[in-house]
Amino acid sequence: MSQRKTAIVTGSATGVGAATALLLAQRGYDVLINYSKSEREARDAEAACRAAGADTLLLRGDVADDAACRALVAAAVGRWQRLDALVNNAGVTTFAGGGNWDAIDAQAFHSIVGVNALGTFQMVRAAAPHLRSARGAIVNVSSIAGSLGIGSSVPYIASKGAVNAMTLHFARALAPQVRVNAVCPGLITTRWFVDGIGQQGFEKIKASYEQTTPLQTAASAEDVADAVVWLIDGARTTTGELLLLDAGRHLGGTVPVPPRG
């Protein structure tokens, strides 16, 4: 059995996932890097974790597929004979805007919920026995969309609301061996948003967000990773927490997300 702690970070090729994997590696964890499409970026993320001293695994897998979730967990446990942390970061959306309901069909709704909500459940189910043995921790990367009912699209809002509710359920069901928490960021300055709404749209949203939030700032991927790793590696008495990382957005007001184009 490895003497180092180990973690699975889903969707860890870029953005928050990559930043979280790297920070865990820097804290002495061995890390499984997971991706569904971005192989080149995933290899870069793996190389950064290795440079930080971690042993790594790199596996492609769509968390909407239960067999893929079980394979990720089996690979980590097979390599290191333990699993101490699970970060459910993989997520998708369609940038339709919260009010553009006609832009959402059933397939898009099912696809988004399948990754964001069902994928979270499937990863927790597969990992739970090993996390119990290690007295480990789970952090679900959610969104203020699930807390405030605002966001890129209705299915995204619904999926993150489900993640928040499941976080509370998992925290009860897996106690006392496993702590389960969620982080709920607002606007994050990552490629994910830029790719979704375009550079011009992103700059407009960012300016509005920074003008209207109490702390007048958006989060970086590293800001979110700091909170995730604190909930994993510290926060000994914290479970069932939905940690809002929104610069105070929840204190009032909303920022609409425009459709692409």
User: Could you tell me which residues are beta bridge partners of residue 160?
Assistant: none
For residue 27, CA distances in Å to 48, 155, 166, 181, 241 come to 13, 35, 28, 19, 22
Active site annotation includes 156: yes
Query: Taking a C-beta distance cutoff of 8 angstroms, is the pair 44, 19 a contact?
Result: no
Residues with Cβ < 8 Å from 176, sequence gap 6 or more? none
- The runs of H, that is alpha helices, within the chain are 15-26, 39-51, 66-80, 106-113, 119-134, 144-148, 154-174, 191-212, 221-233
Helix (H, G, I), strand (E, B) or coil at 7: strand
What are the residue numbers of the active site? 156
